[in-house]
Amino acid sequence: MFSPWTKSGAGTSFWMAARAVMGLHGDGTCFADRSPPLHDINRKHMDKKVVITEMHGSVLIVRLASPENRNSLTIELREQLGEAIDLADRDPAVRAVYLTADGPTFCSGGDFKMLKTQCDPWPVHRRFRNLSRWLIPLISLNKPVVVGVRGHAVGGGMGLALTGDVVVIGESTKLMSGFFRLGTVPDVGMMYHLPRLIGMARAKNFLFANATMLAPEALELGLAAKVVPDHEVYDAGLAEAVRLSEGPAEVMGLAKNIMARSFESSMSEMFAYEGFGAVLAMSNPEFREGLDAAISGRQADFVKAATGRPAHTAKVA
């Protein structure tokens, strides 16, 4: 029979699992404790606002707003995106995030102007070290993330699209690799997410061919949950985010972070993560509300259970 206890010290494996599930470092400090200070995203970068945020009920809408640059991953965009995700993480009123973009291109990937002048070892090292300020918090956010994609998502822009727990795309969407065309390795999580999502062989075939994936193939492979006409992407993605925000959002966030460990963890380790996750989930008021609703045959109101206020039911504009 599996036991989380080890000979090296009572409870060692159990507490390793506990730290992993709760988002703790090896020294016991929380990931959130090491995040940068929360800034007012409406004060910083006032001269060049390239990420816009707004609340819709319990959903934080995060919009890439630099269509003149095809929403490329400039320093300003990455910093402002990190601040938006930090806000989503810290604000209990936010129960889901909807990431989308203005203009005909979702994200064109790396900023070529920046790459021409900052490709020496140390600037590159600093740039990738700063992934912990925006990309990793987005991937590991303890709340559901929906991404709405229309038009091109190229290179790192495709990597950004794949951070969504649910991805809604338009009929014109083109997911493009392009890394080897530039002579660089795939980044922005592409080598982490793509093999997990479609398998190692398909990922290699796609990346090595500098291929372009159209909407029907993305849907068939499971990269997209839904394909809609381009003009419906925003509303369809927002509706999905609203639906998730009205579910047990924090518990879903916990579950997704446990699932993210499944490829590199043993069966015994996953059982330990599941067990500790269940301990946390069943101590959450959302679980008590869901169980009571199931027993009494009514619709659960997870938002009210978690926040004390009823779910926002306003229609998407």
Model pLDDT for residues 167-202, shown as the tens digit of each residue = 999 999 999 998 888 888 899 999 999 999 999 999
pLDDT band at 112 (very low <50, low <70, confident <90, very high): low
Query: Could you tell me if residue 178 is left (phi over 0), alpha (psi between -120 and 50 degrees) or otherwise beta?
Result: left
* Model pLDDT, residue 233: 98
In angstroms, the CA 57 to CA 107 distance is 26
* Entry pTM: 0.81
Residue ranges of alpha helices (H) inside the chain are: 12-22, 75-90, 112-117, 121-129, 131-139, 156-161, 179-182, 190-198, 200-208, 215-221, 233-245, 249-259, 267-281, 285-296, 302-307
